[in-house]
Structure 1
Amino acid sequence: MRSSRRVLAAGVAAVSLLSALAGCSRAGSGDTSADTATDKGPAAELRLGYFPNVTHASALIGLEQGLFTKELGGTKLVPTKFNDGPTEVSALLGGSLDAGFIGSGPAINAFAKSNGEAVRLVAGGTSGGAQLVTTPDITTPEQLEGKTIVTPQLGNTQDVALKKWLVEKGLTGKVNIQNLENAKTLDQFKKGDLQAAWLPEPWSSRLVLDAGAKVLVDEKDLWPGGKFPTTTLIVRTQYLKEHPQTVEALLRGLLAANAFAAADSAGAKKAVNSQLEQLTGKGLSAAVIDRSFTSIALDPDPLASTYQQLAKDAVIAGVSETETKLNGLIDLGPLNNVLKAAGRPAADAAGLDTK
């Protein structure tokens, strides 16, 4: 928990600078508390966070194809790229972001840090798409002893998954865990300085195809039915209460992005790659993006029934001191309105929609 606070403090400074540069400061935005907020109609703008990862494919497709903008109508979309969950959480809690595609771990952390007040999880994004990859000589968990394993960020979704897995394998304290930016992980793996990494797509595929890594653990094999929430969509509670129509428009854009991907796989990959090239300066090879897409599923269902286990996992992993109470985390009202209008069955909040 103390480490998480240090990450949050560092993220606040970064987001403050980002907000100033983007001119998206909200003076007085916190004057009305979420408890007393009322419907004010469509918002003037929606500040949306996301990552340049294939696991954020719905966000990338929606942006590239203009699907969010189309559904938002007169509401201006202000997209902002983030490279890690803790920094995006800082932006949401600081009021410089309205909604964000984010990992399940940081989503729970944002809820916990605000005592269950500041954010609500309104939809899923992606299931699957995370793997523990290693040098070819490592074929069993026991062979990781004394080795260095990398995750993208302290306390992020993959960091929690790795540390819980290490506990189960009796390897806690027997490996070196390092947090490193994904691009640097690829570089160091190529140089032979790293032996293993638990990464989201496309980075696990890049290590396999570009650096000769092998898959030791596919995280979906650790979950019933192979489904676990890698990317979710959360919204500031006050924004949700003041602008429910805007949130529903965002969710219609999410469904449109998923429908586009289902109908045109090649077009979806092209859209994602175009966004990645714009955001990072370099797109992915056809082989990498093809492999990345085989391990993900785009689904607006948040897989709410997994969240109690995710909260337990954070404690098992040593990332949280106590298990987060998740009652009230999920609000599927807007999503289920959109799903009903589309003739689709409602998503289940698994009891986490009530305090």
Structure 2
Amino acid sequence: MSRTTFRRALAVLAAVPLAIGLAACGGSSAADDSASGGAPSELRLGYFANVTHAAALIGVQQGYFADELGKTKLSTQVFNAGPDEVEALFAGGLDAAYIGPSPTINAYGQSDGDAIRIISGAASGGAQLVVRDGINSPEDLKGTTLASPQLGNTQDVALRTWLTKQGLENSVDGGGDVTITPTANADVPNLFDSGELDGAWVPEPTASLLVLEHKGHVLVDEKDLWPQGQFVTTQLIVRTEFLEQYPDTVAALLRAHVKAVQFAQSDPDGAKKAVNAALDAAGGKSLKDPVLDRAWSELTVTYDPIASALETSAKNAVAAGTTEKQVDLKGIYDLRPLNEILKKQNLEPVSAGGLGEE
């Protein structure tokens, strides 16, 4: 994707929230079609077929979302990376989504803080740069081709930020010391085997697949780049309009989300089985036990949004060239519904880090 095309895409996304507002006045989106009791007839949820989206996979597979939503129908859509999810949210095709920080920040900035709110964390960790034999240091990466899931997605920003800090030139236009090729996670292993890719900065389970089944090795574990190894990989966001119009439905979504997180934390074996079944049902491929075990060990399923890491992610996106200017993140969080649920369960509240309501 050229930089001109990239900027054009961002401009289109920036204009879509106005279209959503106009559609809300005279359109017929699922969210506008209310069932009895002021609840929407449908909630449309997006997520990835990744282990880093375990809370979503568990919530769907175990029926937590369907149970809590009651008469509101749950419709799901599986994505490869966050920028495509943002387009669907802006176009009114999704009401809520599990997504990484970088596309979330772009969505918030491009809509002048109007389009979305982060309502919970979902996962920390679970992303690595895996490379072929013969690459053992940053210097060995000169002249190589690496993959990330999509231009501007969370792993893409992490890869570009790290390369730049190592003195390795890269560009959203292509070229430089290292070429970065946006590649669907499912396509990475075959391209890695064929030699078309020298490595990839990818989320789980793709990282574990490359290590255990495709002779790759870890050059960078992203956890090592963050204080105490804590950084947000996945969070749960909603359209602001949906949150304001259907607060009870969002609370139901969050109750199910908390159940899924608690299941992952209290019963990892049961959770891994649920994740594997959900991966299969989502059109992906269930994982062999060693791959799933390794992937699970690399991440933490949590409802804590780890707000302290978000501003760093925003700065990294500017440095990486995937965001054109620093985004003011004040107001991006609305953790009040989540903290109300946690309070009822005598659990500690989570913090917005000064970047929103809590």
Specify whether residues 281 and 350 from structure 1 end up closer, same or farther in structure 2 by C-alpha distance, changes over 3 A only.
Answer: closer
Residue 186 of structure 2 aligns with an amino acid whose one-letter code is A
CA distance in 1, matches of 2:296, 2:5: 33
Matched, 1:131 2:128: yes
For residues 81 and 7 of structure 1, the distance between their equivalents in structure 2, rounded to whole angstroms, comes to 21
Instruction: Give 1:53 shift.
Output: 0.6
Alignment partner, residue 251 of structure 2? 248
Structure 1 counterpart of 2:266: 263
CA distance in 1, matches of 2:44, 2:283: 20
Instruction: Name the CA distance, whole Å, in 2 between partners of 1:94 and 1:74.
Output: 25
1:312 equivalent in structure 2: 315
CA distance in 1 between partners of 2:199 and 2:293 (Å): 22
Residue 285 of structure 1 corresponds to 288
In the alignment, what sits opposite 2:111? 114
Q: Is the 8 A contact 1:101 1:233 kept in 2?
A: yes
| Structure 1 residue 323: Cα displacement | 0.6
Q: What's the counterpart of residue 158 of structure 1? A: 155
Q: CA RMSD in A?
A: 2.3
Q: Give 1:51's match in structure 2, choosing from 48, 51, 64.
A: 48
- Kindly report which structure 2 residues correspond to 1:56-205, keeping only aligned pairs within 5 A, or say none: 56-172=53-169, 173-205=176-208
Q: Percent identity?
A: 49
**AA aligned opposite 2:162:** W
Does the residue aligned with 2:24 lie in a helix, a strand or coil? Answer: coil
- Measured after TM superposition, the shift of residue 280 of structure 1 is 2.5
Instruction: Tell which deviates more after alignment, 143-152 or 271-280.
Output: 271-280
TM-score (norm 2): 0.89
Instruction: Name the amino acid aligned to 1:315.
Output: V
Question: What CA distance in whole angstroms lies between the structure 2 residues aligned with 1:183 and 1:94?
Answer: 26
Q: Deviations over 1:164-216 (max 9, x none)?
A: 10111000121111111112211011112211110000001111111000000
Give the counterpart letter for 1:308 in structure 2.
E
Shift of 1:136: 2.2
Aligned equivalent of 1:21: none
Question: Match of 1:16?
Answer: none
CA distance, structure 2, for counterparts of residue 10 and residue 294 of structure 1:
39
Aligned-partner Cα distance in 2 for 1:241–1:176: 43
**Corresponding residue for residue 25 of structure 2:** 31
8 Å CA contact retained: 2:80, 2:185: no
Distance in 2 of aligned mates of 1:343 and 1:131: 35
What do residues 231-271 of structure 1 show as CA deviations (whole Å, max 9, x unaligned)?
Answer: 01110001001111111111111111111122221111111
Deviations 1:95-125 (A, max 9, x none): 1110000111111111112111011011111
Instruction: Provide closer, same or farther for how the CA distance between residues 345 and 225 of structure 1 changes in structure 2, counting only shifts above 3 A.
Output: same
CA distance in 2, matches of 1:250, 1:5: 34
Partner of 2:279: 276
Instruction: Verify the 8 A CA contact 1:258 1:298 in the aligned structure 2.
Output: yes
Structure 1 runs not aligned, ≥5 long: 13-25
- Equivalent residue number for residue 344 of structure 1: 347
Whole-angstrom distance in 1 between the partners of 2:4 and 2:222:
27
Q: TM-score, normalised by structure 1?
A: 0.90
Q: Does 1:353 align with 2:356?
A: yes
| Structure 2 CA distance for partners of 1:110 and 1:117, relative to 1, 3 Å | same
Count residues with an aligned counterpart: 337
